[in-house]
Structure 1
């Protein structure tokens, strides 16, 4: 897929003080993958649609799931812009519930005709590695391909869990592009604690 972003020059490019750079991998699938045997998971896991979530509640779960992986986009987005996205009928937000506790976030964006973007997908730290991620992905694939789409895509990056790319590939996605993103380090501006995302070095100046 072509993009309008200008290519980076070959070689090294300096990252300004206070900024972070990461490499994004974009992946896609063009057909629903064959069904696999469902993994054994806790019977208490239930995926629930979250209709028009309140901004504060949404950001609280977004932070609980994404702080270790430097999820920052919805923390810096203006409230009115975020509210418009969450109210859009073509954007479907779900919580993965373990009893009364929300342990995962899934967001599917159908606003592009014939496409679905897996916008956000993740679990709280203590739910990782127990089968909940596979459960959540299987539901995501099922929901996405229940709509008349021709393409389902996702992006992950070097801030994410080290197994993320392989997990998406095992789920049926195939990589097709790399992007480089430069952002303000949210730990230096008070959006995240300084010990967040410990795998990403903190450079204070």
Structure 2
């Protein structure tokens, strides 16, 4: 940590910070993988996984927003209906709801489209369940389902806009980091893909750009 008050400890020496224009966000992405199944057991939980065999576009978007809006998930929300349906309708995409009695409180999406591999495409719970051990249960379940016959590699990525404990949770589950990158994009709250009050932990800077429909 630097002793100078004008030089934060996260600043690279000799390289000034790069300003982002209002309305733009940047995230550090960490890529992780595991090359063999872990020996860990799935812990107990009152939650349950329910396979969604034939999700509709509207059903998927509602689930994606409910779980992902607090972390600014938006990639699937920008897809046209036909493009999204082509993904979620693929037999190698396995979608699950996480349920507490009847309420849906999370989602899990496994992508087996690449032969010999499985990507944990989306894994998440609503923020109200944080810190209760449910995340460890969900991730252990996800890993167990991912290692089906023929799979030789399971991988996932997370970024600094996700839950701050995400990387530690993946490592605890048996994943190993192998690459890092930087992603820059327009704030999805300004394009109308997510409500302006999503992710209050990430200040909203900029002006809403969504155009009103023609009368």
TM exceeds 0.5? yes
Residue in 2 that maps onto 1:123: 125
Residue equivalent to 2:45: 41
Q: Which moved more, 1:174-183 or 1:131-140?
A: 131-140
- Point out where structure 2 has 5 or more consecutive residues left out of the alignment: 1-13, 208-215
Q: How does 1:18-167 map to 2 (within 5 A)?
A: 18-36=23-41, 38-42=42-46, 45-167=47-169
TM-score, structure 1 as length reference: 0.88
CA distance in structure 2 between the partners assigned to 1:123 and 1:23 by the alignment? 21
Q: Which residue of 2 aligns with 1:174?
A: 176
Q: Which runs of 5+ in 1 are unaligned?
A: 1-9
In the TM superposition, what whole-angstrom CA distance separates every residue of 1:28-49 from its partner, at most 9, and x where no partner exists? 000001123x43422xx22111
- Give the aligned length: 193
SS of the equivalent of 2:55 reads coil
SS at 1:66's partner residue?
A: helix
**Are the equivalent residues in 1 in contact too, given 2:23–2:204 (CA < 8 A)?**
no
TM-superposed CA distance for 1:189, in Å, is 2.0
Aligned to 1:102, the other structure's residue is in SS state strand
- Normalised by the size of structure 2, how large is the TM-score? 0.84
195-204 or 178-187: which moved more? Answer: 195-204
Once residues 44 and 114 of structure 2 are traced to their aligned partners in structure 1, the CA distance between those partners, rounded to angstroms, is 34
2:20 corresponds in structure 1 to: 15
- Measured on the aligned residues, the alpha-carbon RMSD in Å equals 1.7
Conserved 8 A contact 2:106-2:125: yes
Partner of 2:11: none
Pairwise CA distance, 1:14: 4.6
The Cα offsets for residues 69-116 of structure 1, whole Å up to 9 and x where unpaired, read as 010001111111110111101111111111111111000001111110
Shift of the alpha carbon at 1:195? 2.3
Partner Cα separation in structure 2 for residue 203 and residue 27 of structure 1: 31
Query: Larger radius of gyration, structure 1 or 2?
Result: 2
